[in-house]
């Protein structure tokens, strides 16, 4: 579907590999004690998350795993981690410890723990919509070498959808992953919002199926290229520079997320984030 000359290739490399540090998301990040993250402070956080699809708070210390899971249960049902490759890094069945462990790897399951960049994606894009996480919650226990640590990248779906042509949007609304015909279309309407279920698979082929009236493979491939171009078009990406105690909740129906490349050398201080996926 894609080639080395496609329009998104150079902007993707600039975003994930080569570019200067990204500006932080334009959202309030109040300072709250871990003990005080309840009551009015928690209600404020939940209100911002419901309104904007993104909310952050800077705690004076990271929450314990029990408190972190309990926070996730306020949002919904924390999803167990089931990939055998990552189970040694899981606590309480649902808390994934994302610890920077070394240089790049070809093992896709281990790339979140390595220096690889992570392409823009929505979480669980190949699953049926009802089984996809609604929220991804990240909490920083150790930011690592702050001058070299990778930034988490965010890109709002509304901006990406607005860059597509009406024809591209129509095509994507009838296209889904071939390997999961029960999954949602790549683009769907959710109470008037454009919601994507899509991962940039980089060099791996994306096999798709189209459920509309007669069309051509070129039309679908062109729409997918248009989506990738819109995803990496400069100007609407923000980056999270992690600090100890920073907690961020991302609505998986509002934002694509990814990660810039980390350092290829073993850092003196390893970045450690904890993650929950909430259904």
Task: Give the C-alpha separation, 211 to 177, whole Å.
Answer: 11
Within 10 angstroms of residue 8's Cβ, the number of other Cβ atoms is 20
Q: What are the phi and psi torsion angles at 111 (to 5°)?
A: -60, -35
Q: Are 123 and 69 a contacting pair, CB within 8 Å? A: no
CA dihedral (222, 228, 230, 234) positive or negative: negative
| Res 24: pLDDT | 94
| Res 109: pLDDT | 84
For helices 65-75 and 39-52, give the axis angle rounded to 10 degrees.
Answer: 50
Task: Give the C-alpha separation, 137 to 22, whole Å.
Answer: 20
Q: In what order do the strands lie in the sheet with 152-156?
A: 118-121, 255-259, 152-156, 238-240
CA dihedral (159, 260, 47, 28) positive or negative: negative
| Res 230: pLDDT | 98
DSSP string over 207-245: -EEE-SSS--HHHHHHHHHHHHHHHH-TTS-EEE---TT
Task: Give the C-alpha separation, 198 to 122, whole Å.
Answer: 6
Exposure b/e, 153-187, CB count within 10 A at least 16 = b: bbbbbeebbeebeeebbbbbbbbbbeeeeebbbbb
| Res 266: pLDDT | 58
Each residue's pLDDT tens digit in the chain (279 positions)? 555 678 999 999 999 987 678 999 999 999 999 999 999 999 999 999 999 999 999 999 999 999 999 999 999 999 999 999 999 999 999 999 999 887 888 888 888 888 889 999 999 999 999 999 999 999 999 998 755 567 999 999 999 999 999 999 999 999 999 988 788 999 999 988 999 999 999 988 899 999 987 789 999 999 999 999 999 999 889 999 999 999 999 999 999 999 998 765 555 678 899 999 999
Instruction: Let me know the angle formed at the C-alpha of 177 by 174 and 182, rounded to the nearest 5 degrees.
Output: 80
Task: Give the C-alpha separation, 22 to 117, whole Å.
Answer: 15
| Res 58: pLDDT | 98
Question: Domains in the chain and their CATH numbers?
Answer: 9-278 (3.60.130.10)
| Res 101: pLDDT | 82
């Amino acid at each position: 579907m894609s080639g080395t000359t496609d329009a998104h290739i150079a902007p993707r490399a600039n975003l994930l590999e080569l570019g200067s540090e990204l500006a932080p998301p334009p959202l309030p990040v109040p300072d709250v004690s871990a003990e005080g993250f309840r009551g009015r402070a928690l209600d404020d956080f939940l209100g911002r998350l419901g309104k904007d699809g993104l909310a952050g708070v800077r705690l004076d210390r990271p929450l314990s795993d029990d408190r972190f899971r309990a926070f996730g249960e306020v949002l919904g049902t924390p999803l167990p981690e089931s990939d055998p490759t990552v189970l040694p890094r899981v606590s309480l069945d649902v808390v994934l410890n994302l610890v920077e462990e070394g240089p790049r790897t070809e093992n896709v399951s281990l790339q979140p723990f390595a220096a690889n960049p992570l392409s823009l994606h929505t979480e669980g894009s190949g699953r049926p919509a009802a089984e996809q996480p609604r929220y991804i919650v990240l909490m920083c226990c150790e930011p690592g070498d702050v001058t070299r640590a990778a930034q988490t990248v965010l890109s709002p779906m509304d901006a990406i959808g607005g860059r597509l042509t009406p024809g591209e949007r129509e095509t994507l609304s009838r296209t889904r992953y071939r390997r999961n015909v029960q999954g949602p279309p790549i683009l769907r309407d959710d109470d008037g919002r454009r919601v994507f279920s899509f991962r940039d698979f980089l060099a791996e082929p994306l096999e798709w199926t189209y459920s509309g009236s007669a069309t051509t493979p070129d039309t679908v491939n062109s729409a997918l290229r248009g989506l990738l171009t819109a995803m990496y078009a400069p100007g609407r990406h923000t980056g999270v520079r992690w600090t100890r105690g920073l907690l961020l909740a991302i609505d998986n129906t509002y934002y694509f997320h990814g990660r810039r490349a980390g350092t290829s050398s073993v850092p003196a201080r390893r970045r450690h984030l904890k993650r929950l996926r909430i259904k």
